Amino acid sequence: MKKFVLIPVLTLLVLWSCKLNEINDNPNIPGAVPLETLMPPVSTAMANAYAGRVYRYSNIFTNHMEGVSNQELQTDRYNVDEGFVGRIWSDLYGKAMINLRVIIEQSTTEQSPHYRGVAKILMAHCLGTMTSMFGDVPYTEALNVNEFPNPAYDAQEEIYATIQQLLQEGIEDIDAAESVRSPGSDDLLYFGDRAQWKKAAYVLRARYHMHLTKRNPGAADAALSYLSMGFTNSGDDLKYKPLGISADMNGIYAFFADSPNMKIDPDFEELVNELNDPRTGSLFSVIPFTGGQKKPGPYFSSQGSHVPFISYVEQLFLLAECHVRLGNTGQAQSFLQDAIRESCELIGQGSISQEDINAYVDVQGVLTGNLEGDLERVITQKYIALFTQLEPWTDFRRTGYPELVPNDPGVSGINPNGEIPRRLIYPQDERLFNSSVPMPIPNMQQRFWWDE
């Protein structure tokens, strides 16, 4: 963890050109950085991670994308470089979570629970991302290099309990009647709308309960109790919207503009074609000068395309899955159809006719009451709708759907059986500089707690 525990002020100086004379003179915290200065780099760091290496690793593993050259080709062969993995840690620990820790501590001193609530919700999101990719990760002793130069790894079971605690406390803080300071324009996700933050927190609580379906038979009931307080439409989505300029653009756009080392996996294209999916023409676009290779379509990969953190479409799929697991077939089908329709309208950006959407829903939105068959249908449709996101990899590992064919060759020293990876390896800097890293380093087929 040493390399990733950066000084927050330095991060802000680099990312946001914060001048020394702009630092508030806070009598309680001498030299403290203003809360409104700490917030923006958190959102950008998270978006950079999610539209960067999180997207590239997870979508290669789920056969959405195929690596064709350089590091992405090695990833396609499940030969992940431990040095490249470190970028996820540097974005989330070294830029996002370190500043979130400062916000949580400083907002407590400054009696500003609204800031603390937002920070706790985002901290939970970062933790959920890290643990669903790596398993056990540092948290309790992380982000404090002076006291804990070799932070211990928290067990994944404890991490999920921490996530739920952070989300609940975040909701309570946002509800506080008084707050000396509250997020506003510095909140690049909801611009200070506390009601929206509460909705997002409830949907996140449901998501992280459903991660544990292998471990907790009551996961669906727990998730449903929160989803009723979640989003009401896609306008509620928790997402980062870049400015669409060179200094602030969508990471997927930037990747393909610079080094198109990936293309749409033929397995994914074959799936949507076999289903006669009306989104096909919108899901993909041709990469120039590559002989017809394809990349994610304009909805996902334009310069100003948003980066989703959690969405109304995901909520609808969570509702459908919960009701499938509880035997409520009619309700499950209704939510599945709503999810498909919403996804078609968003991804198609008005280009898909209602007739085509209806025809697709009439076939792919029908459930039969068979648990496994219905679960496969819901998760397969979610797999298509949440293209470019992390959740389909999580869903595959916890449900087995959709059925995916491992890449060949996929056998490597860190992926001994050649199957689709169950986790990422820990980064090189953790192995070299944190004596608390689990040893021997788990390979990518060693399942962590919720995947056992």
Tens-digit pLDDT profile for residues 238-278: 999 999 999 999 999 999 999 889 999 999 999 999 999 99
Which phi and psi angles does 392 have, rounded to 5°? -60, -35
The answer to whether 310 and 200 have CB atoms below 8 angstroms apart is yes
The answer to whether 96 and 11 have CB atoms below 8 angstroms apart is no
In the predicted structure, residue 188 carries a pLDDT above the cut 90: yes
For residue 89, what is the domain's CATH number? 1.25.40.390
The answer to whether 153 and 438 have CB atoms below 8 angstroms apart is yes
208 within a domain of the structure (yes/no)? no
Statement to judge: residues 47 and 134 lie in one domain: yes
428 within a domain of the structure (yes/no)? yes
112 within a domain of the structure (yes/no)? yes
258 within a domain of the structure (yes/no)? no
Statement to judge: residues 4 and 148 lie in one domain: yes
202 within a domain of the structure (yes/no)? no
Angle at 359 between CA 354 and CA 362, to 5 degrees: 120
In the predicted structure, residue 1 carries a pLDDT above the cut 90: no
Q: What is the average pLDDT across 390-401?
A: 99
User: In the numeric block, which tokens belong to residue 301?
Assistant: 């990969």
Q: What is the average pLDDT across 280-305?
A: 95
User: In the numeric block, which tokens belong to residue 307?
Assistant: 């980066």
Statement to judge: residues 143 and 236 lie in one domain: no
pLDDT by residue (tens digit) across 209-237? 999 999 999 999 999 999 999 999 999 99
**What is the per-residue pLDDT for 23?**
27
Residues 6+ away with beta carbon under 8 Å from 95: 6, 11, 15, 41, 42, 45
The answer to whether 299 and 305 have CB atoms below 8 angstroms apart is yes
Q: What is the average pLDDT across 428-448?
A: 97
The answer to whether 420 and 61 have CB atoms below 8 angstroms apart is yes
Q: What is the average pLDDT across 289-300?
A: 94
**By C-alpha distance, which of 418, 419, 420, 416 is closest to 443?**
416
**What is the per-residue pLDDT for 6?**
35
pLDDT band at 289 (very low <50, low <70, confident <90, very high): confident
**What is the per-residue pLDDT for 29?**
46
**What is the per-residue pLDDT for 31?**
53
**By C-alpha distance, which of 237, 257, 272, 291 is closest to 380?**
272
Q: What is the average pLDDT across 370-384?
A: 99
**What is the per-residue pLDDT for 17?**
31
Domain count, the chain: 2
**What is the per-residue pLDDT for 7?**
33
Statement to judge: residues 394 and 417 lie in one domain: no
Q: What is the average pLDDT across 153-181?
A: 99
* CA atoms of 134 and 161, how far apart (whole Å): 16
pLDDT band at 356 (very low <50, low <70, confident <90, very high): very high
User: In the numeric block, which tokens belong to residue 364?
Assistant: 């792919």
Statement to judge: residues 68 and 81 lie in one domain: yes
Q: What is the average pLDDT across 85-111?
A: 97
Statement to judge: residues 242 and 388 lie in one domain: yes
Statement to judge: residues 104 and 222 lie in one domain: no
In the chain, the amino acid numbered 42 is V
Statement to judge: residues 2 and 96 lie in one domain: yes
Its domain, for residue 443, covers 1-192+409-452
198 within a domain of the structure (yes/no)? no
Statement to judge: residues 104 and 176 lie in one domain: yes
Q: How far is CA 427 from CA 190, 367, 436, 438, 440, in A?
A: 32, 42, 13, 12, 13
pLDDT, the chain, mean: 93
Q: Is the dihedral of CA 287, 403, 209, 99 positive or negative?
A: negative
Between 12-16, 72-76, 118-122, the lowest mean confidence (pLDDT) is in: 12-16
Count of residues for the chain?
Answer: 452
pLDDT band at 402 (very low <50, low <70, confident <90, very high): very high
433 within a domain of the structure (yes/no)? yes
* CA atoms of 303 and 228, how far apart (whole Å): 34
Q: What is the average pLDDT across 321-329?
A: 99
Classified as helix, coil or strand, 185 is coil
Statement to judge: residues 49 and 180 lie in one domain: yes
Q: What is the dihedral of CA 440, 445, 451, 452, to 10 degrees?
A: -70
255 within a domain of the structure (yes/no)? no
Statement to judge: residues 364 and 383 lie in one domain: yes
pLDDT by residue (tens digit) across 14-55? 333 332 223 233 434 445 789 999 999 999 999 999 999 999
Q: What percent of the chain has pLDDT over 90?
A: 91
Burial level of 405, CB count in 10 A (0-12/13-18/19+)?
exposed
In the predicted structure, residue 10 carries a pLDDT above the cut 80: no
Q: What is the average pLDDT across 69-74?
A: 96
Statement to judge: residues 187 and 274 lie in one domain: no
